[in-house]
Amino acid sequence: MKIETGLDLFIKKDHARFRDSRIGLLCNQASVDKNLRHASELILQKSLKLNVGCFIGPQHGIRGEKQDNMIESNDFTDPKTQLPVYSLYGASRKPTPQILKELDTFVIDLQDIGCRIYTFMYTLLYCMEAAKAHGKKVVVLDRPNPIGGTHVEGNILNMKFASFVGLFPMVTRHGMTLGELALMFNEELKIHCDLEIIPVKKWKRNLYSESWGRQWVPPSPNIPVAESALTFPGTVHFEGTHISEGRGTSMPFLYLGAPFINADTLADKMNRLKLPGIYFRAIYFQPTFHKGKDQVCGGVHFHVLDRKKFNAFESGIHLLSMISKLYPEFFKWKQPPYEYETEKMPIDLIAGTDELRMIIDSHQSIKKFLEKSREDARAFMKIRKPYLIY
């Protein structure tokens, strides 16, 4: 089965309604149609007769070339089209007066990965707020959630720990598309901008990315394969530690480890927990950059055996707890700054609470924290229900 994304449908027919509007296209390297042609190329076809004022890029750049977090992108002129390209991960994360001057309508085509701790949805949110304040329209060209739309996992963000990786009180794995998130933000945050979603055709909530009938294009440099997106809601928590989350290897967010870890011991301890749907294979790896650069790290490779049973969030928290208990003299939290926050601990921003850090530091059981996260997931299912399109 081949799905049709919002981009496919916009180019096919919906574009005609926007010929009288100056368009600013927010996109990146994954904004491609079913034939892998980029949205910027498609939208400028003469036959469409569209007026494109500018292109806009999110975190990692409009071309996806920025490898790490906190690496900003500059504005530039696209050499192919001579149109201005503005960055929303640079001097400002919000649309500037210069951007707003160039457009009447934000057309947004970004591939989300299904986790609260990912900046693309908050770039969308800021565009929606700017659109409301300045009389602009927002059109979201929707794309499917690559890790499906049925599973919901994790704790709800405490807004005391709001940041650019968490601006709405939702769980870690939300099970929504970007279009559905936009509907929820617009209503729950009382933005009430002029919002239109062009939905995906032929996508069902139980479908993962390999069922789309399309090639996988990494939405950011460290989500090279779809399985990285599947484990991300758990393994992303290691960004808040000194333990490598696999950046600098070919398997980011699937490899986790550090120079002080005995891989066989860790894998054995984790597999004895008998967590559903996951096998931890002992590995050694040597990152070429980032944490553990040029050092041999012992750790585990997340092998998802059964996606229906696998809970990425809980698996990641169990691993975090296990490493802290096995290696208390080496385990450390990453210090600020993190995603433009200079005071709060990165792990608190990622987890959306300081509770997890305090539990780990005191070597308490994580059982109650995980039980509460299941309650949060059930509560969020009710919150999101009115905004589900599919």
Query: What is the span of the domain harbouring residue 132?
Result: 6-217
Residue 239 has pLDDT above 90, yes or no: yes
Q: Report yes or no on 108 lying in a domain.
A: yes
Q: Edge-to-edge strand order for the sheet containing 194-198?
A: 76-77, 84-87, 51-57, 22-27, 105-109, 137-141, 194-198
Terminal Cα distance for the chain, rounded: 16
Where residue 138 sits, what CATH number does that domain have? 3.40.50.12170
Question: What's the rounded Cα separation, in Å, for the pair 380 and 253?
Answer: 25
Confidence of residue 119 (pLDDT cuts 50, 70, 90): very high
- Mean pLDDT (whole number) for 116-135: 98
- Domain count along the chain: 2
- Mean pLDDT (whole number) for 358-376: 97
- Mean pLDDT (whole number) for 89-94: 94
Are 299 and 212 found together in one domain?
no
Task: Report residue 252: phi and psi, to 5°.
Answer: -60, 145
Are 167 and 71 found together in one domain?
yes
Q: Report yes or no on 341 lying in a domain.
A: yes
Residue 182 has pLDDT above 90, yes or no: yes
Are 293 and 275 found together in one domain?
yes
Pull the structure tokens for residue 309.
Answer: 């049973």
Q: Is the pTM of this model over 0.85?
A: yes
Confidence of residue 224 (pLDDT cuts 50, 70, 90): very high
Mean pLDDT of the chain: 97
pLDDT at 71: 87
Residue 171 has pLDDT above 90, yes or no: yes
Are 242 and 338 found together in one domain?
yes
Helix, strand or coil, per DSSP, at residue 170: coil
Q: Report yes or no on 387 lying in a domain.
A: no
